[in-house]
Every structure is written in C-alpha cells, then in structure tokens.
Structure 1
C-alpha cells in the first residue's frame, strides 16, 4: 500500500548525482530538484551541489551552451524560445548570452528559411490570410523573432 522511499547517505547521494550529471549536462535547478526528490536535507543539497561544481560535473555556462546548440540543431527552436527555456531554469543572463553565441547567424537564417518553406508546403489552405497566420503562429511558437517571421512571410506569400 505505502511505498517506502529509500534514504540515501551523503556519499551515496553524491555518487548518484555524479552519474546523473555525467550522463548529460544539467543545470543547478535540475540537480536540486533531483536531490529534493531523494528527500535530502537542505544542508546536504548545498554540500552535494558545491562538490559537483568543484569537480566540474555541474557547470551552468556549459549547460546553457549545450542546451542552445541542441535545441537549435535538433528541434529548430528560435532564440526567443531558447532564452525563455533557459530563464525557466534560472540561468543567468551572462550564461544565456554566452549560449546564444553558439548559434551561427547564417545557419540561423538558413534554418528559418528551410523551416518556413517546409511548413508552407504542408499548409492546405487556399486563403492567403489563413496561410500567413498559420505560418506565423507556427514560427512564433517555435521562438523565432517576430521581425524575421513577418519578413519571411512577406517573402514567401505574395
């Protein structure tokens, strides 16, 4: 009926979190959330996070850069969406700026062009206004800047 939650010693929790951080880049928020789920006390959480930072398992700048590269290359997110997601993870503005430098401007515009063209080809509506609105909604949702989106729509839908 009741599930007994496992309790961890400081050493066990530290080793578990080292593996957690070695598997993929994590931010401080992910790590503290994981430790709270493990029912660790705040003093232990601070101690483990400090250890992870000192041993370079946890690095927010590295996390932000990896996150930005991955979301742009794989999910084709725009800068706005990446910034918002990083802010939700309590990443500093310095690290966010550093992360956005990982995205090449030329590739950014090429990706927007390819994404817009692919979406436009999939739209079945014949009404020009509906096509424009659907394309704009799609690109804005993915975090592309509005001035780029509307310029691209003017270029593609006449």
Structure 2
C-alpha cells in the first residue's frame, strides 16, 4: 500500500498527533478532512495508522473510560454516550466500561453526592432529593445506584 505525496504528509501529521495522545479513528478521520484530504484518500492513511499501531479504537476506549471516570467523575452512562458519539462500536464500549470497578464506582458516586448535598439549597427534603438525583444523572450514573446512595445518606 503506497501512499501519494498528500497522503504521506497527512500520515506524518496524524502519526505525530497519535504518538502524543490517544485518538480514535473517527477523530483522525475528521482531522484528515479538516486538513483537506479527500475521503477516498484518507482510508489508506487510516489503515496504515491502524497497521502500525498508532490507532487502536479499543485502546482509546479503555483509556477514555478510565480517564473520564478518574478525573471528571463521569458515570458509565455518560462515558458510553460519549464513546458512541465518537463512533466506537458497542462491543468495545462494553469492554472499556468493564475496566471501571464497581466498588470504586459507588465510592465516587457517594463522595460526589455527599459533597453536593452540602451546597444544595432546597426548601424541603423532597426538593433536595430531586436536585441530588438530577445532579448524579447529569454526571451519567445509573438511577438504581443513585437510589441506593440516597438511601444510604438517609435522603
């Protein structure tokens, strides 16, 4: 698979980008389009990046899920939604979400809700519960786990 001059330039730029941080194939596809490479010319570039291990959607999904959980404190639903928006297949998304341990997951949710409870101004217990629910759901946590933590907190 021989690349033409434009493809080589795009490949070098994409390889440099991928060597600095994890990217998925759809992000690189978008970059190639922005750089002016036609769609039919970008396929060989993507294939070569995958063949030379610069691009790996599974590796990207695992790193993305771990980072978004650890640093942004996102729940599994929000992480899955964002991976879907990056055209990551559902099988790979499932594998990436398995990386998040359940005990650590609940502990993060517990800590987030405890901290948020201190800053909520609510007129009654029902209002406080609703605000905490909306907050946790906005972060992408599952309602069953939110209910369990609310029950634990006595709200």
| Range of TM-score over shorter length | over 0.9
- 2-structure distance, mates of 1:98, 1:155: 29
2:27 equivalent in structure 1? 30
Contact kept in structure 1, 2:7 and 2:41, CA below 8 Å: yes
- The one-character-per-residue Cα deviations of 1:57-96 (angstroms, maximum 9, x if unpaired) are 0000000000000000000000100111111111111111
Match of 1:45 in 2: 42
User: Does the Cα contact within 8 Å between 2:77 and 2:141 map onto a contact in 1?
Assistant: yes
**Among residues 108, 117, 126, which one is paired with 1:111 in the alignment?**
108
- Deviation >6 Å, runs of 4+: none
- In structure 2, the partner of 1:3 is none
1:100 to 63, 75, 97: 97
Larger helix share, 1 or 2? 2
Alpha-carbon distance in structure 2 between the residues aligned to 1:10 and 1:143: 39
Output the CA distance in 2 between the equivalents of 1:13 and 1:92. 25
Aligned partners of 1:90 and 1:14: how far apart in 2? 21
CA–CA distance in structure 2, aligned partners of residues 24 and 41 of structure 1: 24
Gaps of 5+ in 1: 1-7
Following superposition, the deviation at residue 50 of structure 1 comes to 0.4
CA contact (8 A) 2:50 2:56 kept: yes
- Conservation of the 8 A alpha-carbon contact between 2:68 and 2:74: yes
* Alpha-carbon offset, residue 43 of structure 1: 2.3
Q: Which residue does 1:20 correspond to in 2?
A: 17
CA RMSD of aligned residues (A): 1.2
For residue 4 of structure 1, what is the aligned residue in structure 2?
none
CA distance in 2, matches of 1:87, 1:9: 30
Give yes or no for the alignment of 1:122 onto 2:125. Answer: no
Residues 19-76 of structure 1 deviation map (CA, whole Å, 9 limit, x = unaligned): 1111111111101100000110122200110010000000000000000000000000
Q: Give the drift of 1:126.
A: 4.0
2: CA distance, partners of 1:104 / 1:155? 20
Q: Is the 8 A contact 2:75 2:141 kept in 1?
A: yes
